[in-house]
Chains A and B, each alone.
Chain A
Amino acid sequence: MIEKSPDYGPEELMAVVISREVRDQETVGVGMSSPVPAAGCILAEQLQAPQANIIILGSEEYYPFPAGSSELHFLAQRGELDLFFLSGLQIDRRGNINLHVIGDYEAPNLRLPGAYGSAMLYYMAHRVILFRTEHTRRTFVEKVDFITAPGITPEKVYREGGPTLVVTPKALLAWDKEAKEWGLSAIHPGSSLAEVKENTGFSLRMAEPLISTPPPTARELMVLRTAVREKLQRIYPEFAEKKIRNF
């Protein structure tokens, strides 16, 4: 059988998967350089979460505060942020993320911009969804080179939330609170269990039964490519133009 190539791109798929996680009425934050979650949140607003409070840094429309991005930071620290999105150049089995260096800290192969609040946000947002447009062994490692923000909380430290999901173009990983590591929750259309295992640098716990991510519906894609694309063009014009198809 010849497999038909999907009529949507990986970023579109990820945006749809993310949108399904946003609940109506909740307060959702999207940080800088996060076009995929921004698309997902706007899509959710157009569908099942019209009353969600969506805060997107870098947007005029989705920015309800008089002052700057410190507003989102302190809102989260007050424990009032329900959902936030983080990424990491590396993400490991124990939920640690690395936004600092690849290689040795003193003599790094690559120096990244750093935490920018994520070491607080990962603690204080009620749910954090990690997203990464690359699902490879260099991203999903057994242990990160530098822990920018930890998945596991040291004893007696106050934490509102923490890791819940990782969204990639191949799969959805879910945080196992008991085992304190990632489990494979769903495999996206076009990918397979073997492919996910081969591209993940640590062993994944298996959810029973393992499910296939329902493909984007015609309605989800239509709304994503019309209303969402139009709003996204004012925040991430290049991304909207290149990664979200014109309906």
Chain B
Amino acid sequence: MYSMVQAGSMGVPFVAVRGLLGSDILTHRPDLRVVENPFQETEPVVVAQPIRPEVAVFHAIRADRFGNALIPGGMRDDLMMARAGRWVVVTTEEIVEKEISGEGTGGHTFLPAVDVDQVALAPFGAHPGNCGLHYAHDPAHIREYLEAAQEEGTFQAYLEKYIYGLRNHQEYVTLSGLRSQGERGSGA
């Protein structure tokens, strides 16, 4: 999977992957094929199609008007994923006047404007997930989602309550009772 996303970010037509031979994954995935290694004849190897998502979406702690963005730390493969994506959208807690540079990012991942196509202001856009030091994940909401997702009827009701029944993101923020406290101090 990493190889396939990385191949997408590199723009190559396919990528060779180690292992996988003898796995049932190969019988269910048309994007994985076994070929002979052209540089080591008689050795079977798996080649995979690159993954290039139509749209890749990231949530930033801040972005500027050019598209430079800071994605909170943690899993830091975002740059590779942004490059694999054909159209990259950044939603953000805030849009700042001063241009964001790749220096002194404070442990956050820097997405340069050249890799970003669109920026949208969306405070609490990661909810019910967490967003750096702005807010933690919301276990009560996640529990509500998990329970609703058990059955089709309750899941539809969940979607109606939080998505279809609302006019915009601000209504979601209000409904969820989310209030901005800014970036909390670095004390864990």
B133 interface hit (Cβ, 8 Å): no
CB distance from A155 to the nearest CB of B (A): 8
**Is A149 touching B23 in the complex (CB atoms < 8 A)?**
yes
CB distance from A150 to the nearest CB of B (A): 3
Q: How far is the CA of A159 from the CA of B2 in the complex (A)?
A: 19
CB distance from A72 to the nearest CB of B (A): 9
**Is A67 touching B20 in the complex (CB atoms < 8 A)?**
no
**Is A68 touching B75 in the complex (CB atoms < 8 A)?**
yes
For chain A, the count of residues having a C-beta within 8 Å of the partner chain is 31
B-contacting 9-mer, from A112-120, A177-185, A195-203:
A112-120
Contact of B43 among A70, A119, A149, A157 (CB under 8 A): A157
B168 interface hit (Cβ, 8 Å): no
**Is B43 touching A67 in the complex (CB atoms < 8 A)?**
no
A74 partner residues in chain B, CB cutoff 8 A: 2
Instruction: Tell me the residues in window 146-167 of chain A with beta carbons closer than 8 Å to chain B beta carbons.
Output: 146-150, 152-154, 156-159
Per-residue interface assignment for chain B, residues 1 to 43, with 1 indicating a CB less than 8 Å from any chain A CB and 0 otherwise: 1110110000000000111111111001000000000000011
Evaluate whether A123 and B42 lie within 8 angstroms (CB atoms) in the complex, with A68-B75, A70-B2, A116-B1 already known. Answer: no
Contact of B23 among A69, A105, A147, A158 (CB under 8 A): A147
Q: How far is the CA of A73 from the CA of B19 in the complex (A)?
A: 12
B77 interface hit (Cβ, 8 Å): yes
A121 interface hit (Cβ, 8 Å): yes
**Is B19 touching A154 in the complex (CB atoms < 8 A)?**
no
Evaluate whether A115 and B43 lie within 8 angstroms (CB atoms) in the complex, with A67-B76, A73-B2, A105-B28 already known. Answer: no
A122 interface hit (Cβ, 8 Å): yes
Q: How far is the CA of A115 from the CA of B6 in the complex (A)?
A: 17
Instruction: Tell me the residues in window 85-143 of chain A with beta carbons closer than 8 Å to chain B beta carbons.
Output: 100, 105, 115-117, 119-124
B43 partner residues in chain A, CB cutoff 8 A: 156-158
Determine the interface band of chain B, counting residues with CB < 8 A from chain A: 20 to 34
**Is B18 touching A124 in the complex (CB atoms < 8 A)?**
yes
B18 partner residues in chain A, CB cutoff 8 A: 77, 120, 123-124, 158
B165 interface hit (Cβ, 8 Å): no
B129 interface hit (Cβ, 8 Å): no
At the interface, is chain A mostly helix, strand, loop or mixed? loop
**Is A119 touching B20 in the complex (CB atoms < 8 A)?**
yes
Q: How far is the CA of A123 from the CA of B20 in the complex (A)?
A: 8
A209 interface hit (Cβ, 8 Å): no
**Is B23 touching A148 in the complex (CB atoms < 8 A)?**
yes
A66 interface hit (Cβ, 8 Å): yes
A149 partner residues in chain B, CB cutoff 8 A: 19, 23
**Is B80 touching A120 in the complex (CB atoms < 8 A)?**
no
CB distance from A238 to the nearest CB of B (A): 12
**Is B75 touching A123 in the complex (CB atoms < 8 A)?**
no
Evaluate whether A148 and B77 lie within 8 angstroms (CB atoms) in the complex, with A70-B6, A123-B18 already known. Answer: no
**Is B19 touching A120 in the complex (CB atoms < 8 A)?**
yes
Evaluate whether A100 and B24 lie within 8 angstroms (CB atoms) in the complex, with A67-B77, A156-B42 already known. Answer: yes
B102 interface hit (Cβ, 8 Å): no
**Is A67 touching B22 in the complex (CB atoms < 8 A)?**
no
Please name the residue on chain B nearest to A60 by beta carbon. B73
**Is A150 touching B2 in the complex (CB atoms < 8 A)?**
no
Interface CB pairs A-B, < 8 A, 22: A66-B76, A67-B76, A68-B75, A68-B78, A69-B77, A70-B2, A77-B18, A100-B24, A100-B25, A105-B24, A115-B23, A115-B25, A119-B23, A120-B19, A123-B18, A123-B19, A147-B24, A150-B22, A156-B44, A157-B45, A158-B18, A158-B43
